Amino acid sequence: MPPSMARRLLSRGWHSWERTEGETEAFGFCETIVGATQAWFSEYVRFESLATGLDPGHRQLLSERLFVRAAKQDSLR
């Protein structure tokens, strides 16, 4: 994980990103990575159950919407 992505993950509790070009060339396809801290584990499990079978672009869009919504709800508590 690139250091900048790790910093974002730790500051927000979660983060999603696509592998960079150099990384995708080795695999030959695009991949969306989603990470979460322990505090966000249940939301991450929920995300994975919803994201199964989605292409990388839709997977990243779902992660951003799901985690942002959860963060807003958490801040209202």
CA 56 to chain centre: 11
The model's pTM is 0.72
Number of structural domains in the chain: 1
Q: Which residue has the higher pLDDT, 73 or 50?
A: 50
pLDDT score at 22: 60
pLDDT score at 28: 62
Each residue's pLDDT tens digit, 47-69: 999 999 998 889 989 998 888 88
Question: Of 52, 56, 10, which Cα lies nearest the Cα of 35?
Answer: 10
Q: For residue 34, give its domain range.
A: 3-76
Question: Of 68, 55, 65, which Cα lies nearest the Cα of 18?
Answer: 55
% the chain with pLDDT above 70: 82
Q: What are phi and psi of 20, to 5 degrees?
A: -75, 165
How high is the mean pLDDT of the chain? 82
> Quick count: other Cβ atoms within 10 Å of Cβ 27?
9
pLDDT score at 6: 86
